[in-house]
Structure 1
Amino acid sequence: MKAQFLDAFNTPYALRSVLLPVLSSPYDILIKVEAASYCHTDAVLAAGQMQPNPPSFPHVGCHEFAGTIVALPNNSLSTLKIGDRVGVPGRAFHPCGTCSECTATSMPENPDADPPGYSVYCPHSRNNGIDGPGGFREYAIADSRQIAPIPDNISAVDTAVLMCAGVTIYSALKRCVLKPGQRVGIVGCGGGLGHLGLQFATKMGLKVLGIDNADSPLQLARNLGTGAKIVDARSQDANEVAIELGREDGKQDRGDMGLDSVVILPESQKAFDYGVGLLRNHGRCVVVSFPESGFHVSARDLVFRDISIMGSLVGSNKILRETLQFAAEHDVRAVIKTFALSRLNELVTAYHQGEGGKLVIDMTLPD
C-alpha cells in the first residue's frame, strides 16, 4: 500500500510503498481509507510543537479519517463486520481499560461519558495520527471501540472532517450548557471548526455570533447562509457588539448585555480577549485552542464579572456518534477542498494560505 510519511519536523511528506499494517488486538479492525482530513494539529505536529508526546519518525499523520472495514482478526471482540463504513477519530487507540479514566462511571455532571472500560482520556492509550500512525495511507488499523458508524446519507469525505473538527466543536458547544434562544459566539468562525460550529449552533436553536478577522474566512462564514450574525473583529469593537446585542434583547445594564457563552478557536491572545469581552456577566468561555505560551486571563473578569473559563478537548465516543448523527439529520456539512493522496504537500501549502474550510485527502481521486 501507499502512505505519506513525515520523516522529520518541518519537512515535506514523502509518499512511499509499505506493507499492510498488522492486526494485533481482538478489538482491531483493518480499514480501507477513503478520506483523510487535515487538521490544525497536523500542522502543529509537523512543526515540532506537539508536546509532550511528539511522534517517532517516520510518521503517518491524520487523526480524522473514514473508510470501509476490510478485515477483522479471527478472535475479534467487535460487533462490526466487513463492509461496514466507519469514521475514525484520533483518540483513543487501545486504552488500558483499568485506569481511573477508563473505569469511571457516567455521573450526573458528565452524562456524555463513555461506559466503563474505554476512555478517550486514558493516559496509556495511543492516538491515531499523533503518537501512532494515522490515516494518510491506503489502509489503517483502528480500535473498534473508537469508531462511529457512518449514516447512509453522509459520504466518507464529509465524515472524515467530523472525526476531529466536527466532534471538537460539537462537544465545545455542548459544554456551553445553553438552551435554545440563548446566545453563543464562535471566535474563528470561518475556519475548519468554526464554520461547522456555526451550523451546529444554529441547528441547536441558539442565537449565533461568528467572529473572525480575515477576508476569506469571513466570506466563507457569510456564504453558509446559517442566519448567524458575522462580525469582523478588525473593525468592530467587542464592547460595542455586546451592547448592540443587549439592546436587541431589551437589556438596560451593560452587565446583562452580550453572549451567554463563547467558544475560542484561534491561538491568539487578541482573539481570547475579544471573546471574553463579548460575554455578559456570569458568561462562560470555552477554550479549544492551546497556544504554546498559553492565555493571559484577567482576574477582574473572573472576580467582578463572574466569568467562568473551561477547556474542551474533542469528546467521548458517545459524543462522536451523536455528532455524526446530528450532522446527518440536520445536513451539517463542511466546506471542503479535496486532494489526491499524492498531493498531500499541495494540501499543506493550501492550508497555510488560511482560506478557511477543510482540506481533505480523497482516496478515490487519481494521482
Structure 2
Amino acid sequence: MSRLPETMQGQFLESFKTPYTLCSIPLPQPSTPHEILIKVDAASYCHTDFVLAEGQMPGLPKAFPHISCHEFAGTVVSHFTTRSSQASVFNLGDKVGVPGRAFHACESCFECQGSKDVISQDDKGYSVYCVHAENNGISRHGGFAEYAVVDARQLAPIPASMTGVETAPLMCAGITIYAALKRCHLQPGQRVSIMGAGGGLGHLGLQYAVKMGFKVMGVDAADAPLKLAASLNTGAQIVDARTERAADIVQQLGSEDGKTDLGEMGVDAVIVLPESQAAFDYSMKLLKTHGKCVVVSFPEKGFHISAHDVVFRDISIIGSLVGSNKMLREMLNFSAKHNVRAIAKSFPLSRLNDLVKEYHKGGGGKLVVDMSLEI
C-alpha cells in the first residue's frame, strides 16, 4: 500500500438544518485492537442522514462538526498495532462493506451475550443491538470522508463481482429490507407487499423478494418511484395507491388464488417503509387474516394502529431495524449470486449538497458518493 496522507477531506454537518461543509482534517488512526482504518470508496445517502441533519434524533449527533453516513464501503489500509482476532481476518487491500451498527459493542450485555432474537443474533460477544455501542455516521463520524476508522466486527467482505459503489447502498438499505423480508417468515409462493416499493429500500426489496420465490406486490404513490419499480422488470405486481383501492386489490388476489372467504384474500405479509399513516392504513387493508405487518419506518409521531385489526383479524405487527453481521454477509452473497443491485446515481464527495437536493426530489432509488469521481 502507498504511504498514507497526514490529512483527509470530509463533509461536515456543522449544525442542524444547514448544508454540509467540505473541510480538511488530520487523518484518523485506529486506537484499539478491533479498529481498522479504511479508505472510503463509496458512501450512500440514507433517509436517516436527513432525519439526523434535521435534528429529529434527540441527543444525536453527540457533537458538531459531524461526519454523517452509516452505509459505506472501502479498502483496508491500516490496523491498530495490536490486532484482535477479528481484525486479523482482514488484510491490507481487502474490500469491505461497513454498516452503521455497532461500533465498539460492549461484549457483555444481554444482546452481546446472545439474545433470543435468532434472526438478528451474532456470535457471542458482539451484537448489532448492543445499547452501549456507537453508530458510524450517527453518534460518531461516518463515511462522508476520504478515510474512516471502523470496527472489524462490523465488516463484511465484498464479493469479487461487486464494486464499492454497488455495495455501499446495501450496508443499510440492503440489509434492512433483507432482514425485514426474513421477519415475514414466508415460504416460497406466499404473498408479500412492499409499501414504498420505488424508494431506496423498496426497490431492493422487490428484487430480493422475487429471488426468494415469493409472490410480490410493490405499492407506491408517486410517479418517479412507480416508474423506477416498474423498470426493474422483476415480475412483481406494481400498484399505484393513488388510483387503486386496497379492497379491490384484495378481491383481485382472492380471485387469482381461488379464494371466496374474505379472510383468506390478500397478502400474507406487508412491509411498511413510508412514514405516512395513509401508507400504513393501506398496507393493513391488504393483509389476510392472521397476516403479518413488518414496520421499518419510524415517523416522529408514530402510527395509529387499529385494535380491531390486531384483535379480530389476528394481525401481528412487529418492528425490524437491521440484521446481524451474519445476515449482512448472507445478504451480500445473495446479492452477488442473484445480481441484486441498487438503481443509483453517483456524485463526487465535493457535491454532497447537490446529492441532498436530488434526494428531496423524491426520484426513488439510491444516491451515492463515489470517491473515484473528481473532487
TM over 0.5: yes
Q: Cα deviation per residue 1:137-178 (whole Å; 9 max; x = unaligned)?
A: 000011000010000000100100000000000000000000
The aligned residue for residue 68 of structure 1 is 75
Q: CA deviation at 1:217?
A: 0.2
1:239 aligns with 2:247: yes
Q: CA deviation at 1:80?
A: 1.0
- Secondary structure of the 1:125 match is coil
Q: Which amino acid aligns with 1:87?
A: G
Distance 1:249 1:52 in 2: 49
The aligned residue for residue 37 of structure 1 is 44
Q: Cα deviation per residue 1:268-326 (whole Å; 9 max; x = unaligned)?
A: 10000000110000000000000010000000001111000000001111111111010
Q: CA deviation at 1:246?
A: 1.1
Q: CA deviation at 1:239?
A: 1.1
The aligned residue for residue 57 of structure 1 is 64
Name which of 100, 104, 124 aligns with 1:94: 104
Structure 2 unmatched runs, 5+: 1-7
Distance 1:143 1:243 in 2: 50
1:341 aligns with 2:321: no
1:167 aligns with 2:175: yes
Distance 2:119 2:325 in 1: 12
The aligned residue for residue 296 of structure 1 is 304
Name which of 7, 17, 28 aligns with 1:10: 17
Distance 2:328 2:57 in 1: 23
Q: CA deviation at 1:25?
A: 1.0
The aligned residue for residue 193 of structure 1 is 201
Q: CA deviation at 1:52?
A: 5.0
The aligned residue for residue 332 of structure 1 is 340
Name which of 101, 121, 124 aligns with 2:132: 124
1:212 aligns with 2:220: yes
The aligned residue for residue 81 of structure 1 is 91
Name which of 252, 255, 262 aligns with 1:254: 262
Deviates more, 1:238-247 or 1:293-302: 238-247
Distance 2:61 2:261 in 1: 49
Distance 1:100 1:176 in 2: 25
Name which of 88, 91, 113 aligns with 1:103: 113
Q: In percent, how many aligned pairs have the same letter? A: 62
For the structure 1 residues 355 and 111, does the alpha-carbon distance in structure 2 shift closer, same or farther, using more than 3 Å as the test?
closer
Distance 1:53 1:278 in 2: 36
Q: CA deviation at 1:55?
A: 3.5
Structure 1 unmatched runs, 5+: none
Distance 1:49 1:325 in 2: 34
Q: Cα deviation per residue 1:17-54 (whole Å; 9 max; x = unaligned)?
A: 11111211101010000000000000000000013544
Q: CA deviation at 1:99?
A: 0.8
Distance 1:82 1:5 in 2: 27
Distance 2:187 2:341 in 1: 23
The aligned residue for residue 3 of structure 2 is none
The aligned residue for residue 20 of structure 1 is 27
Name which of 259, 272, 277 aligns with 1:269: 277
- Secondary structure of the 2:111 match is helix
Distance 2:356 2:26 in 1: 25
- Secondary structure of the 1:18 match is strand
Q: CA deviation at 1:112?
A: 4.6
TM-score by length of 1: 0.98
Number of aligned residue pairs: give it.
365
The aligned residue for residue 230 of structure 2 is 222
The aligned residue for residue 308 of structure 1 is 316
Q: Cα deviation per residue 1:224-279 (whole Å; 9 max; x = unaligned)?
A: 00000000000011111111111100000111000000000000100000001100
Q: CA deviation at 1:73?
A: 1.3
- Secondary structure of the 1:145 match is helix
| Contact 2:189–2:213 under 8 Å retained in 1 | yes
